[in-house]
Structure formats: C-alpha cells, structure tokens
C-alpha cells in the first residue's frame, strides 16, 4: 500500500469499562508496488475524524488509535476538523469540550512522522470551520508547510508517489470550503474529488450517489461509516467487515467507472479495512 495523510495520544485506563476496545492488527508495511501510478489510482485507507481518538482522551470518539498508531497501522488519509472556540484553531469534533488539541501541535506530529519516513505520502481532508490565515500560520509554525504539494491544473496528470517523494512534496491538503485568497496548495477538496452521502445509520443506507463534487473528478472518496446516533465500535464491527467494505467499493467503482481512491472509515483498528486495502492494491498492481 502506498501511504497518504490527515490527523492526534494518551492511553485510557484499561479498567475503564466505558473505553472502546479493539484488537489492533499488526502494523502494515506499505508496499512499493504502486509508487509509479498516478496518485488518484493509489488506494488509501482514510480515518474519519482522525483526531477524535479515545487514546487521545476524546469523548464520543470516532477512532481508538491516535495519529501515530493510525500511521503505524497503515492509514495514510486523515479527515480532520478544525474549530476555534476562542483559543485559536484546534482539532475538535463538533464541540471542543469533547476533546481538543491545538492544531499546530497535531500538525507538528505529522511533520515529525514525515521527517522520519521520507518515502511516505499522506493526504488531509480538512473540515475547515476556521478561515485560512490562522490555519496557514499553524502549518508554517509546525514546519509542515515544507511538505505540501500543489495539485495539477484541471486536465493535467497527477504525479505518482515516487515523483512526490523525490520532490519532497509529500502532503496533499484539501479543504471542504473553497477560499479565493488561499495559496494553491490549500486546495478545495471537491474541485478534485467527489464523495457519497455520509449519513448512513445502517449498512442498507450505504450508496454511491454523488453528494459533493462531480463524478469523474480524479479522486473518488467513499464514505463508509455508520452513525446511529453517534459513531460506536459496535457499528464499526458491522460496517468494517471485508464483505461489507468490498460490496460498497465494488458497487461504487462500477457505478462511476473509476477506482475508489480514499476509503473513509470509523475505528480503523476494528475490522478488515487493511485487508480490503491489500485487495485493492493487488487489483491495481502493474
């Protein structure tokens, strides 16, 4: 599997019955077989609300593992929510009272990881509830802006992971909102990607209808997580089976005639997400 990035650590007490638990698979060793494909053809597992981690003491979490553990598992895509409730930009999900970390601190953790892994590429999808200037300041203060790539113009080819690694531009940053005055690397996600509805309460609700962006955009982002009424480990146990994941991927690849690039799930450490990623890699291996 070839890596990508979005973004958060502290271990909850083992005797706390309220703490979600999961069997964490062995860390993945990303394969190099796909490094010459254009970036949209390289599948990656994406952690939905990656910062909302039980191991970072977030309440009502979407993940158990924190950033470094997600990366060690093989996750390379990160959906991150950025809010400002008066303390500057922070990584929060909906309400910062449920868990918070200064954005600059989270970005610095990614910078350290990229510095230690010079062949890796990561992708962010930011739910940016804050205007760009303080977010851009956090990228600069963390040093992570040294790794950002500028997406190609419409109609031009996307680079491969190998080309990005050689250029040192190993982070694709996309944002849910468009900003006319932002730098070119701070790219509107749905200029380059399209996704399906994310409000699924049961497996029967999973679909391939385009919610944001336009079908045929380079990246197909597949939202595959259940919320009823919040994300729960038992819902991930149902959604993250090999059968459920592959059925959704296959249906949407057929519907849109292009591969799924980003497979977004809750609780990446639960279920078969990495096995599905390995299957997708094997299908696309040159």
Burial (Cβ within 10 Å: 0-12, 13-18, ≥19) of residue 33: middle
Residue 259: pLDDT above 90? Answer: yes
What's the predicted TM-score (pTM) here? Answer: 0.89
Question: Residue for token digits 């696309």?
Answer: 284
Q: What is the bridge-based pairing of β-strands 171-175 and 193-196?
A: unpaired
Nearest to 270 by CA among 228, 247, 229, 238: 238
- The three-point CA angle 175-57-99 to 5° equals 45
Could you report the per-residue pLDDT of 191-248, keeping only the tens digit for each?
A: 999 999 999 999 999 999 999 999 999 999 999 999 999 999 999 999 999 999 999 9
With contact defined as beta carbons under 8 Å apart, do 108 and 114 qualify?
no
The CA distance from 84 to 67, in Å, is 21
Other C-beta atoms lying within 10 Å of the C-beta of residue 174 = 24
Residue corresponding to tokens 């509830």 = 129
In the chain, domain spans: 39-193+262-284
Look up residue 89 and give its two tokens: 């930009």
Q: 14-29, pLDDT tens digit by residue?
A: 344 444 444 444 444 4
Cβ–Cβ < 8 Å for 48, 243: no
Confidence of residue 31 (pLDDT cuts 50, 70, 90): low
Task: Please list the residues that pair with 149 across neighbouring strands.
Answer: none
């Amino acid at each position: 599997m070839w890596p990508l990035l979005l973004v958060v650590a502290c271990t909850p007490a083992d005797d706390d019955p309220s703490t979600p638990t999961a069997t964490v698979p062995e860390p993945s060793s990303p394969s190099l077989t796909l490094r010459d494909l254009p970036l949209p053809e390289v599948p990656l597992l994406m952690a939905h609300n990656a910062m909302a981690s039980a191991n970072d003491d977030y309440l009502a979490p979407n993940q158990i593992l924190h950033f470094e553990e997600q990366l060690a598992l093989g996750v390379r895509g990160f959906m991150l929510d950025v809010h400002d409730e008066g303390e500057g930009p922070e990584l929060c999900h909906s309400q910062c009272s449920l868990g918070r970390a200064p954005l600059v601190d989270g970005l610095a953790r990614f910078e350290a990881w990229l510095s230690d892994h010079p062949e890796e590429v990561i992708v962010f999808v930011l739910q940016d509830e804050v205007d760009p200037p303080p977010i851009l300041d956090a990228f600069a203060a963390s040093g992570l802006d040294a790794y950002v790539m500028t997406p190609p113009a419409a109609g031009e080819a996307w680079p491969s992971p190998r080309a990005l690694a050689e250029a040192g531009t190993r982070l694709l940053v996309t944002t849910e909102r468009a900003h006319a005055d932002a730098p070119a690397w701070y790219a509107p996600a749905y200029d380059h990607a399209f996704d399906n509805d994310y409000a699924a309460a049961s497996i029967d609700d999973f679909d391939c209808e385009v919610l944001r962006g336009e079908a045929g955009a380079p990246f197909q982002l597949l939202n595959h997580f259940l919320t009823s009424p919040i994300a729960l480990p038992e819902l991930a146990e149902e959604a993250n089976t090999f059968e459920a994941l592959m059925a959704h991927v296959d249906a949407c690849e057929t519907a849109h005639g292009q591969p799924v690039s980003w497979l977004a799930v809750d609780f990446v450490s639960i279920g078969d997400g990495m096995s599905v990623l390995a299957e997708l890699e094997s299908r696309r291996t040159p």
